[in-house]
Amino acid sequence: MPLCDITPAMPSSVAVIRNPVSGRGKWQSRWPALEFQLKRIFPTLEVLETTRSGDAARLAIQCVGKGVDLVIAAGGDGTISQVGGQLVSTPATLGILPCGTGNDLARTLGVGPEIDLALSRLESGVEAVIDVGEWCSDTAEGFFLNVAGSGFDAAVADKINSGIKRLRGTPAYVAAVLSTLRSFRPEPVLIEVDDDKFEATNMLTAIANARCYGGGMKIAPRASVADGLLDIVLVKKVSKVAFLRAFPRVFKGEHLSHPAVTYRQAQKITLTSAGIRPFLIDGELIAARQVTLGIRPQSLKVRV
């Protein structure tokens, strides 16, 4: 867990960056009431809305440039990651309003997934300084706050984004798992973990700064956002029946003892595949042949 020993003064300038389509638009009709509550806490609140991909990061950069003290990300893990990534190593503090599908970073930090809890922490919480993951591919680079991955979890995320429309959170993830498993075929990947290099054909490779994804699934139950390390969970190729039998263990974080699972901690990992493949970065997908992930310790202030 993060270090939470700083009691911040009430910020003099506050902005909220809202993604109106987060959570499948669940909060669209409820936003006026939520905005009213935020302005009760922060009377000078500035409300900024995203309209296209990349807006959350662009608006966060603007907030930093204007010297905003507290920048609240209202959306899912992708929106929170985009905003938080632009606040790394700046004077600004990240606030979290979990309005997404999974809201997993909010779970790890103890500021969600309930909106009332998040509002309470925004009003009277303390300031934590947490680690941030960083990644670079052969085409792009950025930060991640929660979990990155390759393989089955990336395929599941693609299924959720494109084909699971009516469900949210864990039910959506479970439905996508069952649907994806029918056609998923693991591919070999070259893995470099710190100074160790090996090739593996894994069902999935999860690289975690925080503990959970998929709406509360504890993929990295031992992860800490304040230890300066990434938690790496490798699940080797198994039969579909074996995978389904073991799958429920992830809900309680009891899968690390399974014989198909390898767990490690490291400061750097590189994944290289033969061709372009999807990589999952805090709920968002990128396409790349190679991705290197590292950790930037104690680099982001968060109100928790």
Indicate whether 149 and 48 sit together in one domain. no
Q: Compute the distance between CA of residue 120 and CA of residue 115 in angstroms, rounded to an integer.
A: 9
Contact indicator for 7, 126 with CB cutoff of 8 Å: yes
188 and 85 housed in the same domain: no
122 and 174 co-located in one domain: no
Do residue 55 and residue 156 come from a single domain? no
Overall domain count for the chain: 2
Domain boundary among 62, 97, 131: 131
125 contacts 255 by C-beta, under 8 angstroms: no
Question: Same domain, yes or no, for 213 and 274?
Answer: yes
Q: What is the pLDDT along the chain (304 residues), one digit of tens a residue?
A: 445 556 676 788 999 999 998 876 677 888 999 999 999 999 999 999 999 989 999 999 999 999 999 999 999 999 999 999 999 999 999 999 999 878 999 999 999 999 999 999 999 999 999 999 999 998 899 999 999 999 998 988 888 777 666 666 667 777 888 888 888 999 999 999 988 999 999 999 999 999 998 888 899 999 999 999 999 999 999 999 999 899 899 999 999 999 999 999 999 999 999 999 999 999 889 999 999 999 999 999 999 9
Range of the domain at 27: 3-131
Q: Is residue 46 part of a domain?
A: yes
> Which residue among 96, 131, 166 closes a domain?
131
Q: Is residue 303 part of a domain?
A: no
Secondary structure of 84-143 as H, E, C letters: HHHHCCCCCEEEEEECCCCCHHHHHHCCCCCHHHHHHHHHHCCEEEEEEEEEEECCCEEE
137 in Cβ contact with 288 (< 8 Å): yes
Point out the domain boundary residue: 107, 131, 155.
Answer: 131
